[in-house]
Structures are given as structure tokens and as C-alpha cells.
Amino acid sequence: TIRKGSTIFVLGGRTTYSDWILNMLPKDQSEYAGGKAGFSDINVGITHKFNANNSIQAFGYWSRDKFSFGADTTFHYSNLNASIKGNNHFSDRHSMTLTAGYDRYVSSYEESNYEPQAYQLFTGVQQGYAKLGFKSNLGSHHVLSYGFNGVFYDLNPGNRVPVMAGSLVIPDALDRQRGIETALYVSDTWSPTEKLQFEYGLRGAGFLALNPSKFYFYPEVRLSGKYSFSPDFTAKAGSTQ
């Protein structure tokens, strides 16, 4: 049951009328006359608060671009993003955030100026990720942050296919590249005064390349600090090794 006042829903979208403008260009004076171009997108978001300690957020976005300023060359681009995040407060001192999402970008290029060599080229990249983070207020001006995150990458460097019945282009594709990145981290934020704050921690990051398989590991030590001279002026410094 969704209670009144506990849910926020947002929906938006955009589009263009570029085709209409290009069609108004005089064909005997502009090489872009008769060209086609367009952009459209849509986004949706929802936030629901179950109670004072639990909430969830979901977001989605899609867009598409296309343009063809000549009859023989066409470009297409598309983006897709989706994510969901849950927040839970176990107590006044402990909280957890879980996030998962997916991102995708694809593009295509079509060349049809000369039918025997007409082809279409596709490229793209997509990833799925998950993050689990915790925060614990330890008292004595200390806040402990720790968690895990992982990302799966899938890259399409390019695949080519023939277009038009008379095309002699041979289908070809580069090998897809895939990999998995993971990390564990822990850090402490210490605020000895209202104006002075230090943060220090450890992070272990690993990357597994697939096809062929190879694993890399990168330990990191992080240290940073900041001092607030006023609400509008803060000095910061940090180091990562």
C-alpha cells in the first residue's frame, strides 16, 4: 500500500523538430537540404519512503539521436540507464545503502554511397554494477564507512555488416572485450572539531579481464583532510597510494 505523501513520481521527455528545419532549406543552395536529424529522450524516477528507516529510489533514462545530412550517410546513437537504490537505517548509529544499475550506449554508422561497398558499422558499451555500503557512528567523533562494489563491463569494439542487395562487403567483427571490477573498502572519518575533519582508509581493487583471463589487484591507502574557515571557504588536501 502506498500511503499519501510517501511517494514521489517524476516523468519527463524531450524531442526536437530538426527535420522540419532541414526541409525548409533551399535544395539548390544548401548541401544539407533534405537531410534528417532528430533527438528524443525520456526519464522517469520514483522515490518511496516505507517508514522513517527505509526508503527506495528507482530511476530510468533513454535517449536516441540520429542525423543524416546526405542521402548516403546516416548516424544513430542511443543511451539507456537504469538504477535502483535502497536505504535502511538499522538504528541511530548504523545504516546501509544497496545500489544496482545498468548502463548502455550503442552507435551505428551507415554508408551507402556506392552499393557494392555499402555497409553498416555498430559499436557499443554496456555495464552492470552493484554497490553495498555501510556507515557506523562509533562515537567520539568517528564515523566508519565500509562496503563492496562490483562492475561488469561489456565492450563491442565494432562489427560490420553489408547493406543493400548489391553490397559485396564481407561481414566482420572485432572480438568483444569483457571484464569484472570489484573492490572492498573501509575508511574512518574523524571530526575532532566542527571545522576540522580527517578521513583515512584502505581500498583493495581487483580487475578480472576475460577472453583471455587475467587478474589484476591494486591496494590503495587513502588520506585526506579539510578545514572550514567559514561556510563559504574550505581548504582540502589528500593523498592516494
pLDDT digits 0-9 by tens, 47-75: 999 888 999 999 999 999 998 877 678 89
d(CA 33, CA 19): 10
* Angle value at C-alpha 162, between 211 and 158, nearest 5 degrees: 30
Burial label, 35 (beta-carbon count in 10 A; 0-12, 13-18, 19+)? buried
C-alpha cell at 213: 583471463
Residue 236 CB coordination number (10 Å): 10
Confidence at residue 1, expressed as pLDDT on a 0 to 100 scale: 44
Confidence at residue 5, expressed as pLDDT on a 0 to 100 scale: 62
pLDDT in tens, the chain (241 residues): 455 568 889 999 999 887 777 777 777 777 777 778 889 999 999 999 988 899 999 999 999 999 887 767 889 999 999 999 999 998 889 999 999 999 999 999 998 888 899 999 999 999 999 999 999 999 889 999 999 999 999 999 999 999 988 999 999 999 999 999 999 999 999 999 989 999 999 999 999 999 889 999 999 999 999 999 988 899 999 988 7
Instruction: For residue 19, give the DSSP letter.
Output: H
Q: How many Cα atoms occupy the beta-carbon half-sphere of 137 within 13 Å?
A: 10
pTM: 0.84
d(CA 65, CA 15): 10
Confidence at residue 12, expressed as pLDDT on a 0 to 100 scale: 95
